[in-house]
């Protein structure tokens, strides 16, 4: 089955530690996205990538980093510089061009900072 796999589902982190969230897709989509979700708020874009080896900052990129070395993979690192990292993180992908707006989401990763 084609889809997006995020791991881990739940992650606990101590303050000052970096953590990396994995996102893998087998949909052959060119574009991939990371969103952050907080209770009562919409999804906010952290980073996105339209092609391998290229990515752009979204609306709330500070304290996060990404890489896109392979088409299938778009890992997100939450660094110690992110002041309020506890949240639900969603990875998504889409085709380029026509239909690019139709995002397919993964099941999410919940990060809790202790």
Partner 1 sequence: GQQLNQSPQSMFIQEGEDVSMNCTSSSIFNTWLWYKQDPGEGPVLLIALYKAGELTSNGRLTAQFGITRKDSFLNISASIPSDVGIYFCAGLISMHTGKLIFGQGTTLQVKP
Mask of contacts with partner 1, 78-97, x by CB under 8 A? Answer: ------------x-x-x-x-
Answer for the pair 91, 6: CB distance below 8 angstroms, yes or no: yes
Residues 6-65 that bind partner 1 (CB under 8 A): 6, 31, 33, 35, 40-45, 48, 50, 56, 58-59
Number of residues that bind partner 1 (CB under 8 A): 30
Cis peptide before 96 (omega within 30 of 0): no
77 binds partner 1 (CB under 8 A): no
Q: Which is nearer to partner 1, 73 or 79 (CB)?
A: 73
Q: Which is nearer to partner 1, 81 or 107 (CB)?
A: 107
Strands (E), 1-114: 4-7, 10-13, 19-25, 31-37, 43-51, 54-57, 64-66, 76-78, 87-94, 104-105, 109-113
């Amino acid at each position: 089955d084609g889809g997006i796999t995020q791991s881990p589902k739940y992650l606990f982190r101590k303050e000052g530690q970096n953590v990396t969230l994995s996102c893998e897709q087998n949909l052959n989509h060119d574009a991939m996205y990371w969103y952050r979700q907080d209770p009562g708020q919409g999804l906010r874009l952290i980073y996105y990538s339209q092609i391998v080896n290229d990515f752009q900052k979204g609306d709330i990129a500070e304290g996060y980093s990404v890489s896109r070395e392979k088409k299938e993979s778009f890992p997100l690192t939450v660094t110690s510089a992110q002041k309020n990292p506890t949240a639900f993180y969603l990875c998504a992908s889409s085709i380029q061009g026509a239909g690019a707006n139709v995002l397919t989401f993964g099941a999410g990763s919940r990060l809790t900072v202790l």
